[in-house]
Amino acid sequence: MQWITKAALIRLGILLGGLMVLFMAIAFLMTTMPEKSYSGQLPPLTASQQQLRDDLNRDIKIMTEDIGEHNYLFYNNLIQVEKFLKTRLSQAGYSVNTQEYSVNGQVFSNLEVEIKGTEKPDEIVIIGAHYDSVVGSPGANDNGTGAVAVLSLAQLFSTTHPKRTLRFVEFVNEEPPFFWSENMGSLVYAKRCQKRQENIVAMLSLETMGFYSQARNSQQYPVNILRLIYPNQGNFIGFIGNIGSRSLIHQVIAKFRTSAQFPSQGVSLPDFIPGVGWSDHWSFWQVGYPALMVTDTAPFRYPYYHTQQDTPDQIDYDSLTYVVSGLQSVIQDLTH
């Protein structure tokens, strides 16, 4: 066997160096976010935030304690949650649009309310969350937190006049066996948007947002290299999307960081990485719309994910309130 020549070694070194530079540049583009994450002691809740916290707490308990597990196996409970959400939205002054579809003889419903834009009505911003719980769980964090956050935000915006059209949508059937299937509620909805040629400029999926920890190593990641970039404490809210939604992620997290005194992290990753597409934003990617997920990262932090112990007492309601308040500012920015 002949020895590798010096020239070949130089070429190999240049190639490896170039690949390393390219890798670092790509990693920089995917993980670098505008503005700085908040750090330090959280401020006291204002009076209006205390009321918001109490509303979030009350509604999560109604969905998960008064009603209980709600999905296709607990169909009557699912219908009760649907009626509860409709009632809350109607009480806020909305006319609720229902998108029904059938699977194996059961009728399921996505719920939509809309505020028509005053200047750019054809440009649509969607804030959505799924309201079904996984089989075997009452679903307080996944996804009671997201569903009631959509309710509260809809109530906060009910008397506003955004320049862009603003929709709040409660999706059914995100959990298995519907997950990433043609019967996933958000995919049924997104395909209708595409069929109608609607111009969805932003979609935010509110997914599992209520668990936070200051403990070291309480935060895990789907790939080990992210441990070198992001905190090992699970005390932040995450803004997660694919490469195509990078500009939306930057706009959203920049506004959140300048408005909310709460830690935040963001990333735009290839959607084949585990966790990146694990919610209703995935459905909008399938039809070409920009979308992201707002999350506490679910199984990468929450020890009670998809278990019977996913109950209201596991949720940090103060932190959830800071997040929802920050999202209010984000939505104001997106719709103007």
Residue 50 CA: distances (Å) to CA of 56, 103, 174, 242, 325: 10, 41, 30, 34, 11
Mean pLDDT, range 264-292, rounded to an integer? 97
- Whether 306 is covered by a domain: the verdict is yes
- Whether 7 is covered by a domain: the verdict is no
- Whether 10 is covered by a domain: the verdict is no
Residue 229 has pLDDT above 60, yes or no: yes
Residue 6 has pLDDT above 80, yes or no: no
Mean pLDDT, range 246-266, rounded to an integer? 98
- Whether 13 is covered by a domain: the verdict is no
pLDDT band at 19, cuts 50/70/90? very low
pTM tops 0.95: no
pLDDT 10s digits, 285-324: 999 999 999 999 999 999 999 999 999 999 999 999 999 9
Q: What is the CATH number of the domain that holds 260?
A: 3.40.630.10
If one counts every other C-beta atom within 10 angstroms of the C-beta of residue 68, the result is 14
- Whether 8 is covered by a domain: the verdict is no
User: What pLDDT was estimated at residue 10?
Assistant: 66
Q: Which residue has the higher pLDDT, 1 or 190?
A: 190
- Whether 22 is covered by a domain: the verdict is no
Q: Give the total number of structural domains in the chain.
A: 1
Residue 130 has pLDDT above 70, yes or no: yes
User: What pLDDT was estimated at residue 170?
Assistant: 99
User: What pLDDT was estimated at residue 28?
Assistant: 54
Q: What is the spatial distance between Cα 152 and Cα 46, in angstroms, rounded to a whole number?
A: 16
Question: Which segment of 2-16, 48-62, 204-218, 282-296 scores lowest on mean pLDDT?
Answer: 2-16
Share of the chain above pLDDT 90, in %: 90
pLDDT band at 31, cuts 50/70/90? confident
In this structure, what are the phi and psi dihedrals at residue 47, rounded to the nearest 5 degrees?
-60, -40
pLDDT band at 25, cuts 50/70/90? very low
- Whether 312 is covered by a domain: the verdict is yes
| Helix spans in the chain (H) | 6-31, 47-61, 75-91, 146-157, 185-195, 246-259, 281-285, 317-334
User: What is the span of the domain harbouring residue 229?
Assistant: 35-334
- Whether 214 is covered by a domain: the verdict is yes
User: What pLDDT was estimated at residue 275?
Assistant: 96
Residue type, 154: A
User: What pLDDT was estimated at residue 137?
Assistant: 99
Residue partners of 19: CB distance under 8 A and separation at least 6: none
